[in-house]
């Protein structure tokens, strides 16, 4: 039986990528709903016609339009919509795979509330190599200790609105920093993690974590060349979550094959 997927943010960069990837595995997945913003110019248009991925009979609708027979909601939309999409997933009785970044407290609360009723997985980054980088950053911070300052540089396409990226904040937490840390280009103060962001072009996402010591430095770098990597990770998460009980799950459990 194929897994019925509703995509929140279906007309966006990530949503379209997901529709394309989903349509490559018709035996595993089928699109049951394509949710867009209330003012989207795509509302009412056929998904296949817009994305051109061979999907038929599904039109772009607002997230409030709950569908029956939905197994998983995959959400790459905007932070403000997170609570509404969580409620829609609960009403559908579907698992919720959420990749939207820039969440505020209401988004965090929505994830926690949903996990009482349905399986929930939140990840700021659905790339397997980034899941490994998170582990490496934790290990490097632990092994190098407070003598090394941590600075994080990220580069994304011109359309990205949240700064710093959700992935940069996740890496900062992995390095032992507290968010939000030092975001603007201001003098370093104690052992805070510093963030810097560049925006331009079509770059899907690059992150460098610097461990700056006296006389040496370590740099851990991750570059995404193709945002299909995020789509494949989210669909892998959807497959796993469709079989799980309510609760919170971590991306490492889904994407990484070995624990140590």
List residues with catalytic annotation.
156, 160
Segment contacting ligand NAD (CB under 6 A): 30-38, 137-145, 169-177, 207-215? 30-38
Q: In the complex, what is the shortest distance from the CB of residue 63 to ligand NAD, in angstroms, rounded to a whole number?
A: 5
DSSP assignment of 181-211: -B-SS----TTPPEEEEEE-TT--EEEEEEE
Phi/psi of residue 87, nearest 5 degrees: -65, -40
Closest approach of Cβ 18 to ligand NAD, in Å? 9
Please state, in angstroms and rounded to a whole number, the distance separating the CA atoms of residues 22 and 232: 9
**Beta strands 217-224 and 3-8, pairing class:** unpaired
Q: Smaller CB distance to ligand NAD: residue 21 or 212?
A: 21
Of 6, 9, 70, 237, the residue at the interface with ligand NAD (CB under 6 A) is 9
| 10 is a contact residue toward ligand NAD (CB under 6 A) | yes
Question: Shortest gap between Cβ of 201 and ligand NAD (angstroms)?
Answer: 14
Torsion sign, CA atoms 98, 168, 132, 139: negative
DSSP string for 107-122: HHHHHHHHTTTSEEEE
Residue 255 lies near ligand NAD (rule: CB under 6 A)? no
**Between 105-114 and 82-92, two packed helices, what is the crossing angle to 10 degrees?**
10
Closer CB to ligand NAD, residue 5 or residue 36? 36
Residue 15 makes contact with ligand NAD by CB under 6 A: yes
Binding site for ligand NAD (CB under 6 A): 8-15, 35-38, 40, 63, 76-78, 80-81, 99-102, 123-126, 159, 162, 230
């Amino acid at each position: 039986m194929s897994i019925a997927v509703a995509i929140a943010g279906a007309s966006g960069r990530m949503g379209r990528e997901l529709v394309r990837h989903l349509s490559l595995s018709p035996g595993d997945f089928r699109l049951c709903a394509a949710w867009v913003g209330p003012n989207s110019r795509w509302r009412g248009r056929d998904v296949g016609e817009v994305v051109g991925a061979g999907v038929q009979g599904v039109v772009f609708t607002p997230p409030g339009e709950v569908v029956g027979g939905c197994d998983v909601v995959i959400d790459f939309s905007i932070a403000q919509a997170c609570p509404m999409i969580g409620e829609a997933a609960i009403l559908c009785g579907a698992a919720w795979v959420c990749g939207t970044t820039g969440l505020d407290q209401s988004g965090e609360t929505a994830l926690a509330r949903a996990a009482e009723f349905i399986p929930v997985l939140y990840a700021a980054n659905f790339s397997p190599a980034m899941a490994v980088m998170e582990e490496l950053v934790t290990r490097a911070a632990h092994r190098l200790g407070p003598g090394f300052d941590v600075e994080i540089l990220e580069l994304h396409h011109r359309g990205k609105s949240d700064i710093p990226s959700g992935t940069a904040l996740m890496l900062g937490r992995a390095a032992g920093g507290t968010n939000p840390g030092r975001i603007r280009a201001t003098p370093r103060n104690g052992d805070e993690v510093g963030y810097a962001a560049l925006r331009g072009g079509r770059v899907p996402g690059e992150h460098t974590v610097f461990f700056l010591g006296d006389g040496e430095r370590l740099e851990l770098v991750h570059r995404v060349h193709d945002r299909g990597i995020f789509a494949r990770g989210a669909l892998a998460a959807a497959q796993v979550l469709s079989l799980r009980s309510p609760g919170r799950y971590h991306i490492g459990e889904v994407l990484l094959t070995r624990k140590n």
